[in-house]
DNA sequence: TTGTAGGCGTTATCAC
DNA sequence: GTGATAACGCCTACAA
């Protein structure tokens, strides 16, 4: 409640002008060292704090970047955000975070909040059923950079940071084939966005390449929660011709499914082999360990933030790669698992 | 790059004053419905966007709350933050998040960043080795509310939101005793802050109450990572007199330890029983499922944000409970586990 | 119901 | 090396 100290207060006390104080505080070269020291000391003494609004208002920028994600509380997202925070913080930027909770409506609200907050740029992973990015036009039209990551949307002005979900899906299914599976099932996510659709398409292609059919019976689409994994297992148990391999588009769901199958005596991977996606810590806990696609969250966040910052600083508006592919990696947990079980004996 | 539209542009276009436009946009009662409509329509037409700095500068508040946490990417934290975001967003507040990465130095930097960003209030979970909160005095002195959660610090002006770690530690150890354990080990975290110290003290008390000794041999202090769980297992395997029960102050570490012990043929819980802490999703994946202390992250976040907002709006500066205890719950996974293993047979 | 005027704190420009 | 001034866009007492 005590009145805030401004540069005028410092100026008055030192018989200087506010302009000089401002320059002194900023380390402007034209201020003598002794004056600068007096200014800085007095500022501290009086308990001065910089007023970033006034500065923002004057400079027309905020040093803030906005982040919109579907959910904050997933392993991948919190890693990604941790990476962004690191990079942004080091560069003197603050981050404002909001979550859409997978709702396009809430996403739209978040967009306009961040728009009004005048963030300097935006890092976005879309809600799963967002099918248009017209809401982002207001940013794009003003040359405020928007970078999509993970759940992306193609737009000539917006860089994308992703992994090659198509190839990863292909590799996952191919891996199961190489292990001898011939009835390979897929449990996939919402097909509105690109991510899960591409994983699915990669899976289909792998099956075709091996002369297998990706039949409808071998497909379940869900929200990929742990619980839906359990339900999927129930469906599998009821099937006449069971799959001998399952590629699940995320680990939590895969593990829910595996646990339920194991509970009913299904041998994994002998009877049904699994490949998941995300390399969730749980994948190393379940037995047998889950083979999965590793996918660098923190790195993706760092890269996204770095890219956004470079867009902010240079004006090379069109001088970027449209799509940045980060390497993913299939973590084959079979071999290590066999080694582990040998050790136990 | 196109010039920003201001209320003056709208005013000019409509032959009104800026004051009227300002009021119209805010829904001020003294503006006629028809005028308001013309204002709002014109604003939309011209692509006006509200300038929150100018408003902030004028109103001396930001509608922003700052959050400082040790790490963003833990289950508990991302739940807690998700809860805060929900509440804050609903109340029209933005959140700015920063992580200390368990470093008191970075924490101090974050504090001053948020101080300069002039957040209206602060939600804080401290770095594990922070032992003084003098850095927060600048907020407290200005009556900017600071609410601590999880990793808290007692200060007459700062509410704390926690669970009863002492009791939880007591219950965990007591549970092991009830299951028949008599050499009960503790793997605890950094003892600088209150959280892990209280869990440890609760454990000690339980042992004393049952006539057992909490000997030094039965204590390991670590950072509680998964990997340190593995190392702890190695230590246990090397012990002459092994424990028959272990209370670990978090699940990740407990599970790292259990997996390694299982790899070496130790039967869990028959030879060594475990109780963890956090109710991490992994606890339901490991076999046998891990008995653990459940601890509501999202709720704690919601409560923290709600409390902070109430402090912002009322001026009941001293009219709050110093410490809010949230209920925790010991999730006994033994019984369900036995049921599950029966089913499998 | 609407308008006038001044100020929130900083910084860039121009002058000295 | 330092100072005076105006401007950033909004809001609110006060006046009409």
pLDDT at A344: 34
Shared domain for A242 and A338, answered yes or no, is: yes
Establish if B55 belongs to a structural domain. Answer: no
Shared domain for A106 and A172, answered yes or no, is: no
* Protein-proximal nucleotides of chain C (any atom < 7 Å from a CB): 1-5, 7-13
pLDDT at A312: 85
Q: Does residue A116 reach within 7 angstroms of strand D, measured from its CB?
A: no
- Residues 63-82 (B) with a CB less than 8 A from some CB of A: 64, 71-75, 77-79, 81-82
* Cβ-defined contact of B287 to A287 (cutoff 8 Å): yes
The CATH number covering residue A105 comes to 3.40.50.2300
Hey, is the C-beta of A315 within 8 angstroms of any chain B C-beta?
Answer: no
Establish if B89 belongs to a structural domain. Answer: yes
Q: Tell me the shortest Cα–Cα distance from A15 to chain B, in angstroms.
A: 25
pLDDT at B53: 87
Q: 3-state SS of chain B?
A: CCCCCCHHHHHHHHCCCHHHHHHHHHCCCCCCHHHHHHHHHHHHHHCCCCCHHHHHHHHCCCCEEEEEECCCCCHHHHHHHHHHHHHHHHCCCEEEEEECCCCHHHHHHHHHHHHHCCCCEEEECCCCCCCCCHHHHHHHHCCCCEEEECCCCCECCECEEEECHHHHHHHHHHHHHHCCCCCEEEEECCCCCHHHHHHHHHHHHHHHHCCCCCCHHHEEECCCCHHHHHHHHHHHHHCCCCCCEEEECCHHHHHHHHHHHHHCCCCCCCCCEEECCCCCHHHHCCCCCCEEEECCHHHHHHHHHHHHHHHHHCCCCCCCCCEEEECCEEECCHHHHHHHHHHHC
Hey, is the C-beta of B38 within 8 angstroms of any chain A C-beta?
Answer: no
> Which residues of B are less than 8 Å from A62 in CB distance?
53
Shared domain for B95 and B187, answered yes or no, is: no
- Residues 5-24 (A) with a CB less than 8 A from some CB of B: none
Q: Does residue B58 reach within 7 angstroms of strand C, measured from its CB?
A: yes
* Cβ-defined contact of B79 to A94 (cutoff 8 Å): no
pLDDT at B222: 96
Q: Does residue A235 reach within 7 angstroms of strand C, measured from its CB?
A: no
Q: Does residue A55 reach within 7 angstroms of strand C, measured from its CB?
A: yes
* Cβ-defined contact of B54 to A57 (cutoff 8 Å): yes
- The pTM for the full model equals 0.85
Shared domain for A178 and A103, answered yes or no, is: no
Q: Does residue B183 reach within 7 angstroms of strand C, measured from its CB?
A: no
Shared domain for B215 and B228, answered yes or no, is: yes
Of A50, A117, A138, nearest to B52 by CB-CB distance is: A117
* Cβ-defined contact of A52 to B116 (cutoff 8 Å): yes
pLDDT at A315: 54
pLDDT at B250: 94
Q: Tell me the shortest Cα–Cα distance from B211 to chain A, in angstroms.
A: 35
SS3 A98: strand
Q: Tell me the shortest Cα–Cα distance from A81 to chain B, in angstroms.
A: 7
Establish if B320 belongs to a structural domain. Answer: yes
Of A49, A263, A343, nearest to B340 by CB-CB distance is: A263
Shared domain for A287 and A303, answered yes or no, is: no
SS3 A119: coil
Distance CA A150, CA A303 (A): 12
Establish if A1 belongs to a structural domain. Answer: no
* Cβ-defined contact of B117 to A138 (cutoff 8 Å): no
The CATH number covering residue B16 comes to 1.10.260.40
C-beta separation of A295 from A279 below 8 A: yes
B43, B44, B73, B337: best mutation site toward chain A, by most A Cβ within 10 Å?
A: B73
- Residues 214-243 (B) with a CB less than 8 A from some CB of A: 226
Question: What is the count of structural domains for chain B?
Answer: 3
* Cβ-defined contact of A51 to B57 (cutoff 8 Å): yes
Beta bridge partners of A147: A123
- Residues 177-216 (A) with a CB less than 8 A from some CB of B: none
Q: Is the pLDDT of residue A340 over 60?
A: no
A48, A73, A110, A113: best mutation site toward chain B, by most B Cβ within 10 Å?
A: A73
pLDDT at B271: 96
Confidence class for position A299, pLDDT limits 50, 70, 90: very high
Of B73, B259, B282, nearest to A78 by CB-CB distance is: B73
Hey, is the C-beta of B46 within 8 angstroms of any chain A C-beta?
Answer: no
pLDDT digits (tens, 9 = 90+) for A125-147: 999 889 899 999 989 988 889 99
* Cβ-defined contact of B143 to A1 (cutoff 8 Å): yes
Chain-centre distance for alpha carbon A158: 16
Shared domain for A132 and A215, answered yes or no, is: no
B330 CB contacts (<8 Å, ≥6 apart)? B168, B171, B172, B175, B275, B291, B292, B293, B294
Shared domain for A289 and A314, answered yes or no, is: no
pLDDT digits (tens, 9 = 90+) for B26-71: 888 888 888 999 999 999 988 888 898 899 889 888 889 999 999 8
pLDDT at B341: 40
Establish if A57 belongs to a structural domain. Answer: no
> CA B25, C1' D13: Å apart?
19
Distance CA A84, CA A67 (A): 9
* Residue-range definition of the domain harbouring residue B18: 7-50
Distance CA A58, CA A7 (A): 15
Establish if B56 belongs to a structural domain. Answer: no
pLDDT digits (tens, 9 = 90+) for A238-255: 999 999 999 999 999 999
> Of B231, B219, B212, which Cα lies nearest the Cα of B187?
B219
Establish if A55 belongs to a structural domain. Answer: no
Percent of chain A scored above 90 by pLDDT?
66
Shared domain for A77 and A89, answered yes or no, is: yes
pLDDT at B315: 54
Shared domain for B76 and B132, answered yes or no, is: yes
pLDDT digits (tens, 9 = 90+) for B22-34: 999 988 888 888 8
> CA A35, C1' C9: Å apart?
21
Shared domain for B180 and B146, answered yes or no, is: no
pLDDT at B2: 52
Of B57, B95, B287, nearest to A54 by CB-CB distance is: B57
- Which nucleotide lies at the shortest CA–C1' distance from B4? D9
Shared domain for B45 and B156, answered yes or no, is: no
Q: Is the pLDDT of residue A3 over 80?
A: no
SS3 A169: helix
Establish if A56 belongs to a structural domain. Answer: no
Confidence class for position A338, pLDDT limits 50, 70, 90: very low
Distance CA A137, CA B41 (A): 19
C-beta separation of A133 from A155 below 8 A: yes
* Cβ-defined contact of B75 to A71 (cutoff 8 Å): no
- Which nucleotide lies at the shortest CA–C1' distance from A17? D3
Q: Is the pLDDT of residue A319 over 60?
A: no
Q: Tell me the shortest Cα–Cα distance from A116 to chain B, in angstroms.
A: 6
SS3 A160: strand
Q: Does residue A61 reach within 7 angstroms of strand C, measured from its CB?
A: no
Beta bridge partners of A329: A294
Highest averaged pLDDT of the listed ranges A265-269, A319-323, A339-343, B106-110: A265-269
- Which nucleotide lies at the shortest CA–C1' distance from A9? C9
| pLDDT block averages, 10 residues each, chain B of length 345 | 80 91 90 90 90 89 92 87 91 88 91 87 93 90 91 93 97 97 96 93 97 93 96 96 96 97 95 96 94 95 94 65 91 61 36
């Amino acid at each position: 409640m005590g009145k805030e100290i401004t540069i005028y207060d410092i100026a008055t006390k030192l018989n200087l002008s506010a302009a000089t104080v401002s320059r002194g505080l900023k380390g402007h070269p034209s201020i003598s060292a002794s004056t600068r020291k007096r200014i800085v000391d007095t500022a501290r003494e009086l308990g001065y704090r910089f007023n970033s609004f006034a500065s923002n208002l004057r400079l027309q920028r905020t040093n803030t970047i906005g982040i919109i994600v579907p959910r904050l509380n997933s392993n991948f997202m919190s890693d990604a955000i941790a990476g962004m925070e690191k990079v942004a913080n080091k560069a003197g930027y603050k981050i404002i975070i909001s979550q859409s909770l997978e709702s396009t409506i809430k996403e739209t609200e978040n967009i306009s909040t961040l728009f009004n907050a005048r963030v300097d740029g935006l890092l976005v992973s879309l809600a799963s059923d967002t099918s248009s990015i017209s809401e982002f036009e207001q940013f794009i039209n003003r040359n405020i950079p928007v970078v999509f990551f993970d759940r992306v949307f193609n737009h000539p002005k917006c860089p994308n940071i992703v992994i090659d979900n198509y190839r990863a899906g292909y590799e996952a299914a191919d891996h199961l084939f190489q292990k001898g599976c011939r009835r390979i099932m897929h449990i996939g996510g919402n097909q509105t966005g690109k991510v899960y659709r591409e994983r699915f398409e990669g899976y289909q292609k792998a099956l075709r390449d091996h002369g297998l059919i990706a039949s409808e019976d071998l497909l379940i689409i869900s929200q990929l929660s742990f619980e839906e994994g359990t339900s999927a297992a129930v469906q599998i148990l009821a099937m006449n011709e069971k799959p001998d391999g399952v590629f699940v588009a995320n680990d939590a769901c895969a593990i829910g499914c595996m646990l339920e199958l194991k509970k009913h005596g299904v041998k994994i991977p002998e009877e049904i082999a699994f490949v998941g996606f995300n390399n969730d810590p749980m994948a190393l806990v379940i037995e047998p360990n889950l083979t999965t696609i590793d996918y660098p969250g923190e790195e993706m966040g760092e890269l996204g933030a770095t890219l956004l910052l470079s867009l902010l600083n240079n004006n090379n508006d069109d001088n970027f790669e449209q799509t940045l592919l980060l390497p993913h990696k299939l973590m084959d947990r079979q071999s290590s698992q066999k080694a582990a079980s040998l050790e136990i004996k």
